[in-house]
Amino acid sequence: QPNRVMIWTDTFANNKQSDIFNTELVENNARLAELNRQDIRVIVGNPPYSVGQESQNDDNQNEHYDELDARLTATYVAHTDSTLKGKLYDSYIRAYRWASDRIGQKGVIGFVTNAGWLETSSADGMRKCMTEEFNSIYIYHLKGNQRTSGERSRQEGGKVFGEGSRAPAAIVFLIKNPESTDHGKIYFHAVDDYLTREEKLAALKKDRSIAYTPMNVIVPDAHGDWFNQRDDSYSRLMRMDGKKTEEKAIFKNFSLGVGTNRDVWAYASSKSSIEDKLRKCIKFYNQEVEKKKQDSNYIFSKDLTKISWIHPQRIGFEKLIKSNLFDKNKIHPAAYRPYIRQYLYFDRFWNNRVYQMPSIFPMNTTDNLVICSSGVDNLVICINQNAKDAGQISLMTNYIADLHFNGDTQCFPRWLPGEQPKTAVGELFGDQNQMPSGFSPEALPHFQAAYPDQSITEDDLFYYIYGILHSEDYRTRYANNLMKELPRIPRVATHEQFMAFVEAGQELARLHVHFEDVTPYAGVTV
């Protein structure tokens, strides 16, 4: 009977445990035990895509699989150069890891999945492992990335699964064959640009099979990139970020933008609105903690009109930690989205992640400037995309930046006032002009050395960097690098060219930082 081959199980769990599904489903468990003994050679499927729950209030976090995740950590994660390792625990990437191990030394995997792993910097380790573990890899790319806009979105064409997913999709076959002389061979075919969903499905029907489809051979580079490969001269430029590296870097410290995980509570257009929301929210939270103190079995209220529960509150609730009362000094002006200023309640307990922002904007009166890069993996570029459309999007602001101000925002500060040395014992007044610079000690000498008979300042360097980041020549030449790495900055040939970029950076900064004061174009009615 058909139902005698069906098994109720959690594929990613360690089903070798003797008590797994210890229920009256004896026949189901017997089939599961038999499956675990089988020497599996073929695995096909359409694994789900899910990095994590949308909100802490959902109570719908991804399951954690100790054994499988340990394999992920030892392979895909261990081989990546990216800091965005959390993306490698997506369900569909878990499926690749699980299936690769399950077929052992010989077999075939056929998946229809999110195609993001083919190009993103966070999956470089995964790609490296794929070429090591498999003899042959066949990819039929269906595009359809609708996390894009404009011309790029039209090029990507229709979503193969309709409204089911906005992610690009690919059919992937992975072959392990110990008798083959091939190793890590990658064969690739992509549907044409601008195709509708129906036209893509018709192309699939026409091509029939991988065996009948003309394929291109892809040769990975040293970075594990299969497509949009990088310019190696980029690695000789001085890097902007100075963390977790032995290389000299331009900035001493940098930070992701603030991630509140509760924007509707943390942000508002007016200070009075922030105060009204936070006073009520803090009062409600402290009342919930008090109830927990009275009854250890009490489960907090999920009334979203009174509070949005994020990680710090959940932990605080369990540990019976009450919140400090509302503090007006914690209302900071913030850059929420490009050219959208908001007020932010900036507090470690009421924001999910503040990262290094307290070093950059320690007080709501702090005067500072930050260059905000859009980070990496925000623009997954399709094959043969025009390079000028790729790479970082940089904006300068004088406010705290939100995590999604202009992507997964990385903020590079002119100053680090939060790292101001404490006044020496017995000294009444510190020197306010000695605010710690955001530049490393090596930064200015590195650029000064290119123009030995000229003088440049750290302010010049800050605006030079901003000018370079907006240079079309720079963005075009290093487009593939800028998709996958934070910026590195070249030294232009002459001091005159350097100063031209300084002036361009200053003018751009004036427009971007003081956008509210810019005169509207003639004839435009707001």
pLDDT in tens, 329-355: 999 999 999 999 999 999 999 999 999
Q: Which amino acid is at 134?
A: F
* HEC per residue, 58-93: HCCCCCCCHHHHHHHHHHHHCCCCCCCHHHHHCHHH
Gap between the Cα atoms of 481 and 341, Å rounded? 31
Record the tokens describing residue 467, joined without a space. Answer: 């000018």
Cβ atoms 168, 403 nearer than 8 A: no
To the nearest whole number, what is the mean pLDDT of the chain? Answer: 87
- pLDDT score of 152: 77
Residues of the chain with pLDDT > 90, as a percent, come to 61
Residue 500 to residues 255, 454, 504, Cα–Cα distance (Å): 28, 14, 6
Going by pLDDT thresholds of 50, 70 and 90, the confidence category of residue 44 is very high
Mean pLDDT is lowest, of 150-164, 254-268, 377-391, 423-437, for 377-391
Q: Which residue has the tokens 């963005």?
A: 475
- pLDDT score of 424: 47
Gap between the Cα atoms of 24 and 343, Å rounded? 57
Residues of the chain with pLDDT > 70, as a percent, come to 88
Q: What is the mean pLDDT of residues 195-223?
A: 90
136-170 pLDDT, tens digit per residue, is 999 999 998 887 777 878 888 888 888 777 889 99
279-295 pLDDT, tens digit per residue, is 999 999 999 999 999 99
> Dihedral sign, CA of 395, 397, 401, 405?
negative
- pLDDT score of 419: 85
- pLDDT score of 386: 44
Considering 390-399, 424-433, 449-458, the range whose residues carry the highest mean pLDDT is 449-458
Q: What is the mean pLDDT of residues 252-281?
A: 95
Query: Would the pLDDT of 232 be above 80?
Result: no
- pLDDT score of 384: 38
Q: Which residues pair with residue 258 across a beta bridge? A: 402
Cβ atoms 127, 117 nearer than 8 A: yes
Q: Which residue has the tokens 């445990």?
A: 17
Start-to-end CA distance of the chain, whole Å, equals: 69
Q: What is the mean pLDDT of residues 511-525?
A: 90
Instruction: Give the global pTM.
Output: 0.72
Q: What is the mean pLDDT of residues 449-476?
A: 95
Three-state DSSP class for residue 517: helix
Gap between the Cα atoms of 299 and 248, Å rounded? 50
Q: What is the mean pLDDT of residues 452-473?
A: 96
Beta strands 331-337 and 340-345 are antiparallel
Gap between the Cα atoms of 353 and 373, Å rounded? 18
Going by pLDDT thresholds of 50, 70 and 90, the confidence category of residue 189 is very high
Cβ atoms 216, 164 nearer than 8 A: no
- pLDDT score of 6: 79
- pLDDT score of 151: 82
φ and ψ at 331, to 5 degrees?
A: -85, 115
Burial 100-139 (b: 16+ CB within 10 A, else e): beebeeebbbbbbbbbbbbbbbbbbbbbbbbbebbbbbbb
59-115 pLDDT, tens digit per residue, is 555 566 888 989 999 999 998 877 667 778 888 999 999 999 999 999 999 999 999
- pLDDT score of 427: 47
- pLDDT score of 121: 80
Task: Enter the DSSP assignment of 127.
Answer: H
Query: Would the pLDDT of 233 be above 90?
Result: no
Query: Would the pLDDT of 7 be above 90?
Result: no
Cβ atoms 489, 446 nearer than 8 A: no
Gap between the Cα atoms of 345 and 326, Å rounded? 9
* HEC per residue, 318-370: HCCCCCCCCCHHHEEEEEEECCEEEEEECCCCCCCECCCHHHHCCCCCCCCCE
Query: Would the pLDDT of 256 be above 90?
Result: yes
> Dihedral sign, CA of 120, 122, 128, 131?
negative
